[in-house]
Structure 1
Amino acid sequence: MKLRMWGTRGSLPRAITHDTFVNLVDSYAKRAEKAGLSTISEFRNALRDGDLGRPLVYGGNTSCNEIIFKNHRFFVDMGTGFADASSEVMAQGRTEFTVFMTHLHWDHIMGLPFFVPIYIPGTKLVIYHVHPHAPEFIKIQFNGINFPVKWEELGATVEFRKIKLYDKLQFDDLTVSPLALDHPGGSFGYRFDASGCSLLIGVDGEYKRITPEALGKDLPYYQDLDLLVFDGQYEMDELASRYDWGHCSPPIGVDLAMREGIRNIIMTHHDPRASEAKEERMLQQAMNHCQKQLEFHKDLWVSLGQPEGPRIQLAYDGLEFDLTRLPPRHQLPKYRKNP
């Protein structure tokens, strides 16, 4: 099972302005000087190979993730990253697509009008959703005013399938399970399990419920988990002024992963105004927090065969994470039980 991230910004797409680009080049040039690089050729090769840091930029498109398992490919959300996926899926000759919707805020649906296959007859798009009004609020984009093409003019067949919270869907050997997140208007995460690998898409979520008791029915979805894609939009000191905005901070994701034995965390849904420097500062804060908390959970992480604790990284457009390459998961200690 593999994760591919097509869009990792939240709220709004983020363009790289002239000033931003100049500042990035200057930053990486300084890194090159410190590394002893003295020619343009060496600098270019270091950038291409990732020797000066990878990625060079974090995010651009809004939320869209793709889960790949054998012949199955599932998208989670249809942000502007969904539009970018068009070229690849058309080159592959694909004519059937499956999407799971977390929720219906604009940044998670605005890519659909630009997903080229929906204009091609013979194409089929199936949209799974928990939110009862998903068809209405997705179709509203195609009213001829917000977007020039009307819904009935689409060439593809689009089918909406409403699913119940906590019900499991089976696609051959892969299981998909929806769970509840904390977000205005309602948002739902999805856990994917296949061939001993487990992945949870946990955006958009404020994670007001963090203790085992508060998580309740949602707690098991965070357990025995290989990878959590977590909503890390804000720094901790920003959260107080953004209560009930529906987004979280990396250290809270670290606390959850540390306690529940989540082996890997990818922080995503980056704030549209956050610079690369801020994102890297947030990553360092999360890693520092992890080290401080590790001593309180040492036995758990030793038993998981990962004594250094959860591995943390920042999402970026184009990131791929192959879960099949992870070392075998050790069994959780017997004393851990669900509440």
Structure 2
Amino acid sequence: MSDTENQFLVRFWGVRGSIACPGSHTVRYGGNTSCIEMRVGGQLLIFDGGTGLRELGLKLLSEMPLDVTMFFTHSHWDHIQGFPFFVPAFVPGNKIDIYGAIAPNGSTIEQRLNDQMLHPNFPVPLQIMGADMKFCDIDVGEAVQLGDVKVENTLLNHPGEAVGYRVSWNGRAAAYISDTEHFPDRLDENVLWLARDADVMIYDATYTDSEYHNEKSSKVGWGHSTWQEAVKVAKAANVKQLVIFHHDPLHNDEFMDEIAQDTAEQYPNSVVAKEGMVIDLMSAPESAVLA
């Protein structure tokens, strides 16, 4: 088996939620929105197409022709706005399979990606993209098998619906849980199912508890969770490594440092996602973060 076929790597290209926030105050953690690359058992997987997808696409140009499988959690702007700028999608000879669940209004992932590229929102339509693109509608709970790699999904608690994913291969598992809001009186069974005994759980911790419950500007019902709830899930699901993700654009580097310290005190094997960070699931948890 080659080195690439024996890999389970997770690389972060966008770690923010809501809107990209580049600037001097977000240099260390990054300002791009949600996009994660996984190299699993010889497969190239991409989860979500936020603004971080543009940078990933430029990196992938050196590897063409490409065979890529993309999974979208949902189609809120911070998860799809990088797609029109994904350069490999414009190059003939590249193969891109795109998976997403049908939205509550009946629209497919193809329709939603197409619509954001229509006038007057964008100058060129999706049909200009020259890659061999195949759009695949998946049902909630339907597993996708890619060789030896299994990708499971289930529904998350988010306005307009979203799905979370679990990627399993060679006895290892990574859970990608964004965007979701916790319940006030219990842990979400769907989230626990995705995170069960996972080597890595990437969790939507947009807010702190104090922000979420703030009397003047409550975030209850906004569709996102907190790092404190992430710790609860990680403990209950026996997660080996917790990754705090989908950072609020108002949280600068210093604020994220505080969250990293507070989370680590409650769950020692935790890390706050940064752009460029790589996690190796084939390594021991304590040495898994490579950058």
The two structures share one fold, judged by TM-score above 0.5: yes
Unpaired runs of 5+ residues, structure 1, are 22-55, 291-308, 329-339
1:205 deviates by: 1.1
Query: Is 1:15–2:22 an aligned residue pair?
Result: yes
Deviations 1:89-132 (A, max 9, x none): 11012332210000100010000111111222232221101134
Q: 1:200 to 1:327 in 2, by over 3 A?
A: closer
2:279 alignment counterpart: 321
Question: Which residue identity does 1:12 align to in structure 2?
Answer: I
Q: Does 1:222 align with 2:195?
A: yes
Q: Which residue, out of 241, 247, 251, partners 1:264?
A: 241
Query: For the residues of structure 1 that align with 2:249 and 2:97, how far apart are their CA atoms?
Result: 29
- Which residue of the partner structure matches residue 178 of structure 2? 203
One-letter amino acid matched to 1:223: R
Tell me, yes or no, if the aligned pair for 1:257 and 1:310 is still in contact at 8 Å: no
Structure 1 residue runs of 4 or more that deviate by more than 4 Å after TM superposition: none
| Identity score, percent | 31
In the alignment, the residues of structure 2 paired with residue 203 and residue 140 of structure 1 have an alpha-carbon distance, to the nearest angstrom, of: 23
TM-score (norm 2): 0.87
1:207-258 Cα distance to aligned partner (Å, 9 max, x none): 227736x51x553322121110011111111112011111111111101111
**Distance in 1 between the 2:12 and 2:130 partners?**
27
Match of 2:134 in 1: 159
1:76–1:102 CA contact under 8 A, matched in 2: yes
Distance of aligned partners of 1:224 and 1:209 in 2 relative to their CA distance in 1, 3 Å threshold: farther
Q: Which residue of 2 aligns with 1:182?
A: 157
**SS in structure 1 opposite 2:75?**
coil
The higher radius of gyration belongs to 1
Q: Deviations over 1:303-335 (max 9, x none)?
A: xxxxxx65111101101000000269xxxxxxx
Amino acid at match of 1:117: P
Structure 2 distance, partners of 1:264, 1:327, is 6
* Richer in helix (by share): 1
Residue correspondences, number:
271
Find the aligned partners of 1:69 and 1:311 in 2 and give their Cα distance: 22
Q: Aligned ranges for residues 8-157 of structure 1 at < 5 Å?
A: 8-17=15-24, 20=25, 57-132=28-103, 133=107, 134-157=109-132
Q: Quick one: structure 1 residues 156 and 59, their matched pair in 2 at CA, closer, same or farther if it must change by over 3 Å?
A: same
Q: TM-score, normalised by structure 1?
A: 0.76
What is the CA-CA distance between 1:259 and the residue it aligns to? 1.9
Letter in 2 for 1:260: A
User: How far is 1:16 from its partner?
Assistant: 1.2
Residues 169-219 of structure 1: per-residue CA shift (max 9 Å, x gap): 11121110011111110011100111111100001111227736x51x553
Of 173, 195, 200, the match for 2:148: 173
8 Å CA contact 1:250–1:283 kept in 2: the answer is no
Q: Give 1:60 shift.
A: 1.4
Q: Who is 1:303 aligned against?
A: none
Q: Quick one: distance in 1 between partners of 2:234 and 2:154?
A: 17
Shift of 1:260: 1.9
Looking at structure 1, the residues matched to 240 and 185 of structure 2 have their Cα atoms a distance apart, in angstroms, of 17
Among 208, 224, 243, the residue aligned to 1:235:
208
Whichever structure has more strand as a proportion of its residues is 2
